[in-house]
């Protein structure tokens, strides 16, 4: 099983650690990768991650040899515990999924970047404009992951190019 795979399976939609573990195992079989973007959603309205179920799933999947990219909030205590259980990459939200609000909790995101200076940190969720992505990069984040800002725009191709330009400048 290679970690050089270009596909990053995702457990989006899972609400329990058990669901996320089962989906991760199926994804490993299908895509021949140990990589998994681990999402365990705790609230249907905000789509906020369930930190308790996320930590449980991380513990289990780490023992199974997965490279975990955890979708989490900007809570440094939760992030520290995820890293302690073998998480490889932290993916804190900038703001709730699909909200397009940008980086709402700057203090916590800045502290997270400082505390986890040697860890890959990717802003995942809430990015709505190229300027938001640029700001995340200015704060020292390694990347941004987005969907709604491009997929729901009137011109997805040009919006994607605008984001590319924002983070490459």
Q: What is d(CA 12, CA 113) in angstroms, rounded to the nearest whole number?
A: 24
Label residue 126 left, alpha or beta by phi (over 0 means left) and psi (-120 to 50 means alpha).
left
- What are the residues whose beta carbons fall under 8 Å from the beta carbon of 65, sequence distance 6 or more? 1, 34
- Residue whose token pair is 């681990």: 38
Which of 37, 59, 63, 88 is catalytic? The answer is 37
Torsion angle (degrees, nearest 10) of CA 148, 9, 88, 140: -20
User: Judging by DSSP bridges, how do beta strands 89-92 and 143-145 pair with one another?
Assistant: unpaired
Is 15 a known active-site residue? Answer: no
Q: What is d(CA 51, CA 80) in angstroms, rounded to the nearest whole number?
A: 12
Report the DSSP beta bridge partners of residue 69. Answer: 37, 89
What is the set of active-site residues?
37
């Amino acid at each position: 099983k290679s970690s050089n795979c270009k596909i990053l399976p995702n457990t989006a939609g899972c609400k329990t650690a058990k669901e996320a573990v089962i989906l991760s195992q199926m994804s490993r079989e299908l895509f021949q990768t140990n990589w998994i973007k681990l999402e365990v959603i705790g609230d249907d309205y905000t789509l906020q991650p369930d930190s308790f179920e996320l930590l449980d799933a991380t513990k289990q999947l780490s023992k199974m040899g997965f490279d975990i990219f955890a979708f989490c909030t900007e809570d440094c205590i939760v992030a520290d515990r995820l890293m302690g259980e073998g998480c490889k990459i932290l993916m804190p939200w900038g703001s709730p999924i699909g909200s397009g609000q940008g980086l709402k909790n700057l203090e916590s995101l800045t502290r997270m970047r400082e505390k986890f200076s040697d860890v890959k940190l990717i802003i995942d969720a809430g990015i709505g404009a190229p300027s938001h992505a640029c700001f995340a990069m200015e704060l020292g984040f390694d990347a941004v992951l987005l969907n709604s800002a491009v997929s729901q725009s009137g011109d997805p191709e040009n919006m994607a190019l605008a984001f590319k330009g924002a983070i490459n400048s």
